[in-house]
Amino acid sequence: MLAALTDSVAESRRRRAGRRGLVVGLLLALLAATFLLTLLLGQSFTPPQDILRTLLGEDVPGVAFTVGQLRLPRALLAILAGLSFGLGGVAFQIMLRNPLASPDIIGISWGASAAAVIAIVVFGLKGPAVSVLAVVAGLGVALLVYALSFRNGVAGTRLILVGIGVSAMLESVIAYILSTAPAWTLQEALRWLTGSVNGAQLGAMLPLLAALAVFGGLLLGHGRDLEALRLGDDTAAALGVRVGRTRVLVIAAAVGMIASATAICGPIAFVAFLSGPIAARIVGNNGSLPVPAALVGAALVLVGDYCGQFLLPSRYPVGVVTGALGAPYLIFLIVRVNRSGGSL
Amino acid sequence: MMSHTLTASALSAGYGERLVLDRLDFAVPPSRITVIVGANACGKSTLLRTMSRLLPASRGHVLLDGKSIHAMPSRELARTLGLLPQSPIAPEGITVADLVSRGRHPHHGVFSRWTRADDEAVAAALAATRTDTLSERPVDELSGGQRQRVWIAMALAQQTDVLLLDEPTTFLDINHQIEVLDLLTDLNQTRGTTIVMVLHDLNLAARYADHLVAMANGRLHVAGPPDAVLTEETVREVFGLDSRIITDPTSGRPVMLPIGRHRMLSDDAIESEAAP
């Protein structure tokens, strides 16, 4: 009797794991297919064998530049940034048990973006120094929002409202700095307001890759504890999770990833916010979300950038495309949360 | 099943500056059912939260088998001492079997794999709470009584020898309250699990407790067997309420009947009713 029940428990657990594995596999396949498409087909079509030869180090006339200098770095940056935004965003949403608690809504991306703009425009800095400043500013904003919303503990709603206010202030700081830099093109200005992967360079991605490896590893290593936090802080603590320590680690890792990506591509609008809920929709209740959400984030940025470049009547940075997707969802979510309380 | 000792000595705890527990001493009888009662804000929940390390002690100690729980690794503690908090949250759409399996958390590290023993623990918890027929249903579609049984199943899957429950019967209909308390009694009798719970209903507390504890102002007011604790005097001191205590003909346990200001018979009628 109990053996039969044990078998059925095991069976349903394996079925859930299988479904989640299938979703992750499909997302990986989608990402790989889109990646190949962006390498093959831009303004012109490049035959696959030319791409292969270029990647192996041969100098194929014309292809070395369009693929090696333009398409490949751009696609890789889109994937790295998307993974960072998706993973960082879903970590916040799970930890605070609210889809509105994503780092781009509560001001952390804007803090990193403002720091990057000031570092580049005012102080003329470049490369890793900009990334480090952006991470520090992102952590600073996270602390500020946390401190401002602290009253007998932090309530999710208060934190979100304070975060929205801080975001608005930081956006105006960015707008002000950009207005004092008349030499900047519209494209560059848009990078810091909506995010863009224009002008990607392989070398500039190393800090982002390092941040993703370190912070992403840290986050996934604490994936089980993060998952337990979904049952409420008290229940998680009763299950042996050190809630305070887990929370600090998750915040530091998520901010580190989000800010590193923002320092290079700007706050690509709503990717952090959208990835988790989309992943939740397709994974259903078949397992943990961080990995699927990271893959969804990468797909969003890659596909969004491709649409912005080639499928729309004129060229838009990726943030404009993801922004157009995210804004209606934000409205939908606020209406729904108002009705029911809602969770991820 | 090991018998564990759980004691608090000179325990003070609270929120910020405000101390809710005031140098409290408390020994939980092993393998028994202990029920804590008391007026609102007397520190019942705070006591459970401090005894399970959800809240730090500002002074004094909580000792599990003689060791301070605040010095124990949290996973090790969670394998011996379980707690069902007042309002746990079920993630949207999670199924019963999935939620119950979350109880296995403290038995796993980062790299350990799920084993047959884990599935058996989950199956046993589902069977014991009679939630096995619900195992594929989403938790948010269940009734209040079913949902509470599922949460208890999760705590059972944790396989702790000591289980603390903070008002496990709140918001339940009376039939579901009895069902939950019977289930906990089964657990205590078949496995010897030490149970400590906070209950609001004095009569249910006296009915199900081996050891009844009445708290007032952050201290234990009186503790002992229900018929020694649930007296007219205790009810007056702890709740500020006049009452009469009679004996439940079914269980032989004391039953408290509150005396309010209205709907009273004349004194003669009360006297003649009380006379056998």
Backbone φ and ψ of B233, nearest 5°:
-65, -50
Residue of chain A minimizing CA distance to B132: A5
Residue appearing with tokens 């934190």:
A159
Instruction: Look at A239 and B158 and tell me if their CB atoms are within 8 Å.
Output: yes
Q: CA-CA-CA-CA torsion for B188, B191, B192, B194, nearest 10 degrees?
A: -60
**Nearest CA-CA distance, residue B101 and chain A, Å:** 9
Q: What residues of A are in contact with residue B162 (Cβ under 8 Å)? A: none
The answer to whether residues A105 and A164 touch, using CB atoms and an 8 Å cutoff, is yes
Instruction: Tell me whether A340 touches chain B (CB under 8 Å).
Output: no
Name residue B8's beta-bridge partners: B26, B62
Task: Name all domains of chain A by residue range, CATH numbers in brackets.
Answer: 24-340 (1.10.3470.10)
**Nearest CA-CA distance, residue A224 and chain B, Å:** 8
Q: What residues of A are in contact with residue B77 (Cβ under 8 Å)? A: 240
Least Cα distance to A298 among A6, A38, A42 occurs for A38
pLDDT per position as a tens digit, A207-235: 899 999 999 999 999 999 999 999 988 99
- Rounded average pLDDT over A147-151: 82
Please tell me the distance from the alpha carbon of residue B143 to that of residue B136, in angstroms, as a whole number.
15
pLDDT per position as a tens digit, A56-99: 777 777 777 887 778 889 999 999 999 999 999 999 999 988 88
The answer to whether residues B169 and B185 touch, using CB atoms and an 8 Å cutoff, is no
DSSP 8-state symbol, A100: G
| Residue pairs between chains A and B whose CB atoms are closer than 8 Å | 108
Instruction: Tell me whether B84 touches chain A (CB under 8 Å).
Output: yes
pLDDT of residue A252: 92
Name the residue with higher pLDDT: B257 or A287. Answer: B257
Instruction: Tell me whether A61 touches chain B (CB under 8 Å).
Output: no
Instruction: Tell me whether A96 touches chain B (CB under 8 Å).
Output: no
Residue among A238, A241, A242 minimizing CB distance to B82:
A238
pLDDT of residue B1: 57
The answer to whether residues A243 and B56 touch, using CB atoms and an 8 Å cutoff, is no
Residues ≥6 apart with Cβ < 8 Å to B16: A152
| Rg over CA atoms, chain A | 21
Least Cα distance to A95 among A245, A299, A263, A269 occurs for A245
Instruction: Look at B124 and A2 and tell me if their CB atoms are within 8 Å.
Output: yes
* Residue A265 pLDDT > 80: yes
Name the residue with higher pLDDT: A331 or B60. Answer: B60
**Nearest CA-CA distance, residue B82 and chain A, Å:** 6
Of A2, A12, A340, which to mutate for an interface test with B (greatest number of B Cβ within 10 Å)? Answer: A12
Backbone φ and ψ of A214, nearest 5°:
-70, -55
Q: What residues of B are in contact with residue A239 (Cβ under 8 Å)? A: 78, 102-103, 105-106, 158
Instruction: Tell me whether B79 touches chain A (CB under 8 Å).
Output: yes
Name residue B165's beta-bridge partners: B84, B197
Please tell me the distance from the alpha carbon of residue A221 to that of residue A261, in angstroms, as a whole number.
21
Backbone φ and ψ of A124, nearest 5°:
65, 30
Query: DSSP states of A203-248 as a string?
Result: GGGHHHHHHHHHHHHHHHHTHHHHHHHTT-HHHHHHTT--HHHHHH
Extended strands (E) in chain B: 6-15, 18-28, 33-38, 59-64, 67-68, 81-84, 162-166, 194-198, 211-216, 219-224, 243-247, 254-258
**Nearest CA-CA distance, residue A288 and chain B, Å:** 11
Please tell me the distance from the alpha carbon of residue A12 to that of residue A32, in angstroms, as a whole number.
30
Amino acid found at B223: A
Instruction: Tell me whether A187 touches chain B (CB under 8 Å).
Output: no
Residues, chain B: 276
pLDDT of residue B82: 94
Q: What is the 3-state secondary structure (H, E, C) of B26-41?
A: EEECCCCEEEEEECCC
Of A9, A227, A336, which to mutate for an interface test with B (greatest number of B Cβ within 10 Å)? Answer: A9
Instruction: Look at B54 and A242 and tell me if their CB atoms are within 8 Å.
Output: no
Least Cα distance to B67 among B160, B3, B4 occurs for B4
> Lowest-confidence range among A190-204, B142-156, B196-210, B248-262?
A190-204
Instruction: Look at B102 and A228 and tell me if their CB atoms are within 8 Å.
Output: yes
DSSP 8-state symbol, B202: H
Instruction: Look at A239 and B126 and tell me if their CB atoms are within 8 Å.
Output: no
Instruction: Tell me whether B135 touches chain A (CB under 8 Å).
Output: yes
pLDDT of residue A93: 93
Please tell me the distance from the alpha carbon of residue A124 to that of residue A117, in angstroms, as a whole number.
10
Please tell me the distance from the alpha carbon of residue B238 to that of residue B136, in angstroms, as a whole number.
45
Q: What residues of A are in contact with residue B85 (Cβ under 8 Å)? A: 232, 234-235, 238
Instruction: Tell me whether A16 touches chain B (CB under 8 Å).
Output: yes
pLDDT of residue A99: 87
Residues ≥6 apart with Cβ < 8 Å to B29: B194, B210, B211
Please tell me the distance from the alpha carbon of residue A226 to that of residue B146, in angstroms, as a whole number.
26
Least Cα distance to A288 among A342, A239, A232, A219 occurs for A219
Q: Buried b / exposed e across A23-49, counting CB within 10 Å, b at 16+?
A: bbeebeebbeebbeebbbebeeebeee
Residue of chain B minimizing CA distance to A17: B98
Portion 153-182 of B in contact with A at CB < 8 A? 158
**Nearest CA-CA distance, residue A181 and chain B, Å:** 48
Q: Other CB atoms closer than 10 Å to residue A144's CB: what's the count? A: 16
pLDDT per position as a tens digit, B123-173: 999 998 889 999 999 999 998 889 999 999 999 999 999 999 999 998 788
Please tell me the distance from the alpha carbon of residue A140 to that of residue A272, in angstroms, as a whole number.
19
* Residue B239 pLDDT > 70: yes
Instruction: Tell me whether A13 touches chain B (CB under 8 Å).
Output: yes
Please tell me the distance from the alpha carbon of residue A294 to that of residue A94, in angstroms, as a whole number.
13
Residue appearing with tokens 């079997």:
B97
User: With bands split at pLDDT 50, 70 and 90, how would you rate the model's confidence at A341?
Assistant: very low
Residues ≥6 apart with Cβ < 8 Å to A29: none
Q: How many helices (H) and strands (E) does chain A have?
A: 15, 0
Q: Buried b / exposed e across B16-31, counting CB within 10 Å, b at 16+?
A: eeebbbbebebebeeb
Q: CA angle, corner A297, sides to A293 and A298, nearest 5? A: 120
pLDDT per position as a tens digit, B110-132: 778 888 999 999 999 999 888 99
pLDDT of residue A1: 73
Q: What average pLDDT is seen over chain A? A: 87
Backbone φ and ψ of B68, nearest 5°:
-65, 130
